[in-house]
Structure 1
């Protein structure tokens, strides 16, 4: 959609992924606990903020793709607009947002309470679903979260892969030694092989 802005964002995303890997390597499951806790706290704050200050449900309930992919990119575009990036695009987006805000205010004036109640119910249902997923993730007898169990499984697969790779390297080295021994051995002449009688 916006190749220049996306190219500017890519190094930040890669740096964030590298830093997340560093935290996981350094602190193990503790880093995951903090990340999941912060993530859940921010989602709750977003629901509360939308309910109190905007009086409407978050975009998450209308469109998951918009909430997870387009909204962060929209925030990135806002940051770029602060530095003077593409003022024409900024004015077009501002006009489109203004139209949407006017439509929202008009729907509130005409008493569109049913839709608001439906969104509130969906918000409560999504919070209940989030709690159910959280409980399921902690349903292991060892009391390890689901993500931690997945990471341990991935680590065990890596260890198995390292062991197999090490064995393959050893087999190749032995085959190389045998070949070298065969090629450098002195020629002893003709050898007769007989079957035992």
Structure 2
């Protein structure tokens, strides 16, 4: 009788072990599925980034500066460069927000991203035209509420710090027609 009870208990424990093993396998499959999704998203983002960089044709900083200083003078080719520049920025912003949701990025990083990429009148106008898509709904308010003069004001302050005696600034140079 004692061996029968022992056998029953051992059978029960073995069955519980099998059930727990199946639960762990299901959990591991779910984890692998999530990792695969993350990897596919990462590869797609990387591919989009490479495409956008190729379409920008190298270093877009001259065009970016022109979009801040003299946006109405941008050529069609430069406007297209800016389009790819901002699309790349939105893709990076999406990645940063996912990192923030995972606890791997802090709000300050995301907020500083808004002002550096969308802190100009041209960037704001571009986003309001392009950013009506639902995929950017979570960031729309933050981008639209970014100070549209922040970027030029930031560099004015940097230049003012460099040469406070001369009183020269980027905004004053622009006003003087330089």
TM-score range (shorter-chain normalised) is under 0.3
Decide which structure has the larger Cα Rg and report it: 1
TM-score by length of 1: 0.23
By relative contact order (CA 8 Å, sep 6+), the higher-ranking structure is 1
